[in-house]
Amino acid sequence: MNMPREEVRSRFVGRTKEKSYLKEWLTHAEAPLSVLAVTGIGGVGKSTLLSEYMRICSERGVLCLWLDGRHLVPSPLAFMDHLTAALVMEGGGYPAAAPLAPLLKATPEKRVLVCIDNYEDMRMLERWMMDAFIPKLSKQGVIVVLASRPAFSIDWSSHPRLASSCRLITLENFNRTETESYWITADKRQGDHSLQEASLYDLTGGHPLTLALTMDTLGRNGELHLPPQGSFHISSQLSARMLQELAGSGLLPIVDVLSVLHTANQEELAHISGSAVSITEFQALAGLSFIRQTPGGITLHDFARLHLLRDLKLREPDRLHALRDRAMNMLQSRLQQSEIPAMRLRIATQMLQICREALPLLNRQYANISAEPFTGSLDLPRKEDLPLLQELLRQWCEYSVDPVQAVKYHRLLDELYLHAPESIAVLRDRDGEPIGMIIVTLLHRETSELLARTEFDELEECEAVMDVYVSPEEADTHLAVLVAAREDYPGYTREELVGHMVLDRLSLLGEGTRVFLVATNDHLKAFLSGLGFVAGPTVTGKCDTSFAKSELLSFDHRNGGFGAWVMDFWRKAHSAAEDPAGLPLELTEREKEVLQWMAEGASNKEIAARLTVTSETVKTHVRNIFRKLDVDRRMKAVAKAEKLNLLHS
């Protein structure tokens, strides 16, 4: 639907209670420091609500700042750089020498709104945000709004300094009344809408994104005609085909660009697509229900991007790579030209996001980052997780360190949970149960004292090459401690789960950061060498085991070099894509057996009987074979296996 910006804005309906929280603060004479923590499922309208908050505040002369957690390296230093850049860009009436003054000296007369979208990507900073950043802000005139898909921890509402100023908000789907309001706003016709609205609510469940897509689909010809109730479940038919039809053939090439580059302005869309993008086309894109506007440009909703990217990969894989290549070269050029730290960080993060979706294959005996991403989420640890995390750690210690060294790791896990939980990222299954964890600690005064207290020997290796007792705002170095996962999780190997967690934490390798870890595992050393880590000798030797000598691996992008590294990384991905016959597929012996039976035409049930396993086990092996061969059909798997000489003669 080609919709003017004003009409898009007017479609915002409902959320009366949520807007009342902001309006209450705007009319409060003292405007006390406040935090609104908004959570809700994907597509429920978190970003839309933040945009509405920005509009309301802007109309009242409030200084409005927008940050996106996806574009932030999770360190206090990087966060402060981005915040400073946003303040300078928006202008706060203060000299460049004091860019944070609008936040530190805010008053009821000079108010500031700080919106942070996709806050879940900043969860490693949560303790610092609560204990250091927000308490330093002016006690009047500042409101911080955080939007996250996962629920916020209870620490926000029980924090000794923030509890009274923090409000946790859970966004729900629209009720029938709000759905009717949306219908009337979109329809623009007079008359009785209750019957149509009842059907619309039943079709969409009041889910805002599904509702918007439904309205756009039904209204493409200028009129809205609902099919019989229950015959059109759009929420289960959300697909690339439907999204492409909504965009239309004229806009589809530009939408493809947004599948590659998360956020883009008019100039960037034109450069990457290879053709001019008119203001009319840009406004038409901004009016689509699955595209939203941000201060940095327009962006696809995550759900839409997932469908469109998968479709583009199947439909035109060569064009997908060409778009990614243009985006990477454009970003590399801008990285070289920019001297603003926050802008360099934003560009570097965008380049990493593109690389993650087309990673070169590395040594997969330690971590497999080439498999289909695991659908579970990485989250902060909870108290009830500790027994399972300690068991995961026990299993990790059995094959990683000597028994006498295991004690310090268990002690460290307990201490980190109590004093620096942001260092622990927990991988959960669909039921929320921990099945893996990765520990990466930002080294500064507080965390270094904690590590020293637990007699963590790796700290001494870092102390030999850097000052680990800096303030959190000055910290730029992470210490990677360990990554552990279950080996018996259905459908995934331990290496694949480990690979998923490593892939998620690759954002730590961004511009202006440094990463250290002490390694004894040869497979880990080979894996990290493929990522660009440099190995060197340890100083103390305290981390050596009875079966291996330890090495200190480092990755330093504080003083440039990131652009060259990430482009080299990207070219490796391209080479792997162009030469599939050279890929180290590394099928297990059992997977090779299953593949052989597939080649002979056996069904899953027949294979299960011949191997004396269950049909579910065979299905798991087949899924793994598909992932490793990058195919989606049995016949394709057999054909590719024959080409790669994986079948017995």
Domains annotated for the chain, with CATH where assigned, are: 5-170 (3.40.50.300), 176-237 (no CATH), 241-356 (no CATH), 378-563 (3.40.630.30), 589-643 (1.10.10.10)
Sheet holding 297-300, edge to edge: 263-264, 297-300, 291-294
Residue 417 pLDDT: 94
Amino acid identity for residue 623 in this structure: R
**Token code pair at residue 100:** 């944070």
SS3 426: strand
Identify the burial level of 469 via C-beta atoms within 10 angstroms of its C-beta, where 0-12 means exposed, 13-18 middle and 19 or more buried.
Answer: middle
Residue 1 pLDDT: 28
Encode pLDDT of 127-185 as tens digits: 899 989 999 999 999 999 999 988 888 888 888 889 899 999 999 988 888 887 877 77
Q: Report the C-alpha gap between 421 and 416 in whole angstroms.
A: 5
Q: Answer yes or no: is pLDDT of 396 > 80.
A: yes
Bridge partners for 438 per DSSP:
425, 483
Phi, psi torsion values for 647, nearest 5 degrees: -95, 150
Encode pLDDT of 211-241 as tens digits: 777 777 665 544 544 444 443 444 444 566 6
Residue 88 pLDDT: 79
Mean pLDDT value across the chain: 82
* Helices 176-187 and 194-204, packing angle to 10 deg: 110
pLDDT band at 613 (very low <50, low <70, confident <90, very high): confident
With residue 63 as reference, give the H or E element that holds it. strand 63-68
Q: Report the C-alpha gap between 413 and 403 in whole angstroms.
A: 16
pLDDT band at 434 (very low <50, low <70, confident <90, very high): very high
Q: Are 204 and 234 in contact (CB under 8 A)?
A: yes
Q: Specify which of 26-30, 608-612, 629-633 reaches the highest per-range mean pLDDT.
A: 26-30
Q: Are 141 and 112 in contact (CB under 8 A)?
A: yes
Q: Specify which of 80-84, 385-389, 638-642 reaches the highest per-range mean pLDDT.
A: 385-389
Mean pLDDT of 455-469: 89
With residue 439 as reference, give the H or E element that holds it. strand 434-442
Mean pLDDT of 101-121: 93
Mean pLDDT of 591-597: 87
Residue 96 pLDDT: 57
Please give the residue that has the higher pLDDT: either 200 or 372.
Answer: 200
Residue 617 pLDDT: 81
Mean pLDDT of 294-303: 81
Q: Answer yes or no: is pLDDT of 553 > 50.
A: yes
pLDDT band at 452 (very low <50, low <70, confident <90, very high): very high
Residue 121 pLDDT: 84
**Token code pair at residue 163:** 């509890």
Indicate the range of 67-81, 577-591, 618-632 predicted with least confidence.
Answer: 577-591
pLDDT band at 574 (very low <50, low <70, confident <90, very high): low
Q: Report the C-alpha gap between 37 and 608 in whole angstroms.
A: 50
Residue whose token pair is 């511009």:
511
Please give the residue that has the higher pLDDT: either 242 or 568.
Answer: 568
pLDDT > 70: percent of the chain: 85
CB-side exposure of 417: number of CA atoms within 13 Å? 17
With residue 616 as reference, give the H or E element that holds it. helix 615-629
Indicate the range of 89-98, 281-290, 347-356, 605-614 predicted with least confidence.
Answer: 89-98
Residue 231 pLDDT: 36
With residue 441 as reference, give the H or E element that holds it. strand 434-442
DSSP assignments along 210-261, one per residue: HHHHHHHHHTTTSS--PPSTTS--GGG---HHHHHHHH-TTTHHHHHHHHHS
Q: Answer yes or no: is pLDDT of 197 > 60.
A: no
Residue 573 pLDDT: 66
Q: Report the C-alpha gap between 95 and 208 in whole angstroms.
A: 42
